[in-house]
Amino acid sequence: MGGLGNHSLELTGLAGDPASPVHRLDPRAKILGLVAVTLVAVSTPLEAWPVFGACALVLACVATAGRVSGRDVWRRVRFLLPLVLLAALFLPFVRSGGRTYDLGPLTAHQAGLEVFGAVAIKATIGTVSAVLLGATTTFPTVLRGLEAMRVPRLLVMIAAFMYRYLFVIVEETGRMRAALAARAYRPRTALHAGALGRVSTAMFLRTYARGERVYHAMLARGYHGRMPQLAPLVLRRPDVLFVALVLAAILPLRVATGVGA
């Protein structure tokens, strides 16, 4: 059934020292602090580059305090960042202005490159923030934080079930792929994709039936429309201090460099 570690989803777990002060912070403090870093970075124009420096410094401090190694951060960032950057890749070639650089059939423009650079920096800071949140906070804890921050319960519940059953579905998909491969299924042309369609249908039906069984299991234990909470979150002094420090490190600098992106 696959324990932890031999999973394709192992990168979703904690990294660093689970007993570190960062790991032990209230999830709301981490969500607030790291979202603040992301928002400040996104709203900063390229000319105000010291703000990016401050954001990077904050992230480096969080990683160090949580004993999350650069390698751990990189292993997670490298999956996310290319997806984020893909959208910005065409910018140097369509946004004209300034000097031009000939790259064979394509021409890159100075202005476009600058915008691309700004987007890349912002995307990196945002991605590393998210990765650090994920590396220092378990997903269920993030969800509890979001719920305590008044994110609609229904959305939090959907995310919670998605997280719980993602692993089950990944395992099921793996078994189906093995079953296809065991009967010499090696798609070569688009015509062979039909089998994959049927696999998706089977997956959908299985998931749907499971949904019904899970709902039965919930009713059987007295579910009546509200997810019960075991431990209400309590904000403590270190949590407040963390948010204050993060904001103190980036906000004054951001305000000093003016408004507008």
Q: Tell the smallest beta-carbon distance from residue 35 to another protein (Å).
A: 21
State yes or no: residue 17 binds another protein (CB under 8 A). no
Site for another protein contains 260 (CB under 8 A)? no
**Residues, the chain:** 261
Q: Which is nearer to another protein, 115 or 160 (CB)?
A: 160
**Hey, CA dihedral for 233, 236, 241, 242, is it positive or negative?**
negative
Q: Residues 140-169: x/- map of binding to another protein (CB under 8 A)?
A: x--x----------------xx-xxx-xx-
Q: Which two tokens stand for residue 157?
A: 């519940």
For the bound state, the minimum distance from the C-beta of residue 99 to another protein, rounded and expressed in Å, comes to 53
Binding of residue 71 to another protein (CB under 8 A): no
Judged by CB under 8 A, the residue of 104, 197, 228, 260 near another protein is 228
Q: How far is residue 84's CA from residue 123's CA, in Å, rounded to a whole number?
A: 7
Q: Is 4 in the site for another protein (CB under 8 A)?
A: yes
Dmax (CA) for the chain in angstroms is 69
**Residue 210 binds to another protein (criterion: CB under 8 A):** yes
∠ CA 91-92-94, rounded to 5°: 65
CB of 109 closer than 8 Å to CB of 100:
yes
Least distance to another protein, CB of residue 26, Å: 17
* Cα-based distances in Å from 233 to 86, 90, 141, 143, 212: 38, 45, 10, 12, 31
Report the nearest approach of another protein to the CB of residue 111 (Å): 47
- The smaller minimum CB distance to another protein, of residues 186 and 213, is found at 213
Q: Return the bridge partners of 240, or none.
A: none
Beta-carbon contacts of residue 173 (< 8 Å; ≥ 6 apart)? 199, 203
Question: Which region holds residue 77: left if phi is over 0, alpha if psi is between -120 and 50, else beta?
Answer: alpha
Question: Mask 92-131, x = binds another protein (CB under 8 A)?
Answer: ----------------------------------------
Amino acid identity of residue 100, one-letter, is T
Measured from the CB atom, the residue of 10 and 102 that comes closer to another protein is 10
List residues bridging with 103 in a β-sheet. 106
**Residue 98 CB neighbours (<10 A):** 11
One residue of 71, 188, 213, 237 binding another protein per CB under 8 A: 213
216 interacts with another protein by CB under 8 A: yes
Q: Please say which residue, 225 or 260, places its beta carbon nearer to another protein.
A: 225
- Which residues lie near another protein (CB under 8 A)? 1, 3-4, 7, 138-140, 143, 160-161, 163-165, 167-168, 210, 213-214, 216-224, 228-232
